[in-house]
Amino acid sequence: MWIGAVLAVLAASCQRPAATPSTSYDPAGKLVLPAGYRSWVYLTSGIDMSYRKDAPTRTTSVFDNVFVDPPSYARFLETGHWPEGTTLVLEQRSGADHGSIVHKGAFQNGDVIGLEVHVKDAARFPASTYPDGWGFYSFDDRQPTSAFGPKADCYDCHHDHGALDSTFAQFYPTILPVGAAKGTLSGRE
């Protein structure tokens, strides 16, 4: 009889991702880089992307990999909106075009060279000051960090061009169809 109860508990726990907080802050209110973000849901990769027309030409490629915390992803699939507390991590890695047996194309190479985090938290980022209730963070040294101020370019750019909930879903091929089906796309690109 107890085996049936244990199996029922195990089956119930496998139905949804564990609802663990994806973000934590140090005593000074700085965001701590989310541990284990690489085991989160992978959304997309880009290569050599820039949102500025006058961006300098790079001599080596940079890959962007985007991850979202599992509970937020599960809720997104249900509603077509990113829920409060959503955390997206953009990881940048350098690229190479020669190595091992590669003679054409490019691959990700080496250590992480940049980390940015996008957190939906209307209490910390009220829409009256921060467009859409999101905060942006950059982790240069992986130490806890403060969000960019509300005048940083990233806020207006995401608000003006984000295809879904102020995120660049237009570059996330697995997310865009969900937003289209749920009718939650902003019509911005």
Residue-by-residue pLDDT tens, the chain, 189 positions: 444 443 343 333 333 333 345 789 999 999 999 999 999 999 999 888 877 777 777 777 889 999 999 999 999 999 999 999 999 999 999 988 878 888 888 888 888 999 999 999 999 999 888 878 999 999 988 899 999 998 888 888 888 889 999 999 999 999 999 999 999 999 876
Phi, then psi, of 75 in degrees rounded to 5: -70, -40
Phi, then psi, of 13 in degrees rounded to 5: -70, -20
Q: What is the pTM of this model?
A: 0.83
Q: Is there a contact between 112 and 92 (Cβ–Cβ < 8 Å)? A: yes
pLDDT of residue 14: 38
**Rounded to an integer, what distance in angstroms lies between the CA atom of residue 92 and that of residue 151?**
24
Reference 172, options 82, 52, 65; nearest CA is 65
pLDDT of residue 21: 59
pLDDT of residue 16: 37
**Rounded to an integer, what distance in angstroms lies between the CA atom of residue 71 and that of residue 97?**
36
**Rounded to an integer, what distance in angstroms lies between the CA atom of residue 32 and that of residue 57?**
32
**Rounded to an integer, what distance in angstroms lies between the CA atom of residue 76 and that of residue 56?**
35
